[in-house]
Amino acid sequence: MKKTLLTQKIFRILLGLFLLYAGISHLTFNRTEFLAQVPQWIPMNADWVVILSGIVEISLGGSLITLVKQRKLVGIITAVFFILIFPGNIAQYVNQTDGFGLNTGELRLARLFFQPVLVFWALWSTGYFRKNNHRVHEYH
């Protein structure tokens, strides 16, 4: 296995573990931290949003780790998920809501710049940008 492919695999699994941990945290730990990121304009109970997004994160994390043959599709879905939850990060910044240690405007603003990194990470680690897409068997 090429070094780049191995690195991508490691980062794919790390992202999967990160999402599993985050998703489980949505369901088990103090949800008030997660409630800080639910925009007020969402027409749904904020606690349910946290629970449902946790379930999605667990599903995506597990899929990133186990669905090797579908990794590119899972990468695209994960990237779209990161884009869809970005308004929550913006709302946390605009409304100056504390959560996850983001208790200053500067920290909440810095968090906004991390979301594109997650989108790229999801796509890159799953081989989305690779040109030789027909050589999937090398990346297990």
Average pLDDT for residues 29-48, to the nearest whole number? 85
List Cβ neighbours of 32 (8 Å cut-off, separation of 6 or more).
99
Give me the half-sphere count of Cα atoms (radius 13 Å) on the Cβ side of residue 46.
12
pLDDT at position 41 over 80: yes
pLDDT at position 117 over 80: yes
Q: Which pTM does this prediction carry?
A: 0.86
What mean pLDDT, rounded, does the chain reach? 88
pLDDT score, position 16 = 97
pLDDT at position 1 over 70: no
pLDDT at position 78 over 90: yes
> Would the CA dihedral through 8, 14, 17, 22 be positive or negative?
negative
pLDDT score, position 40 = 85
Average pLDDT for residues 36-50, to the nearest whole number? 89
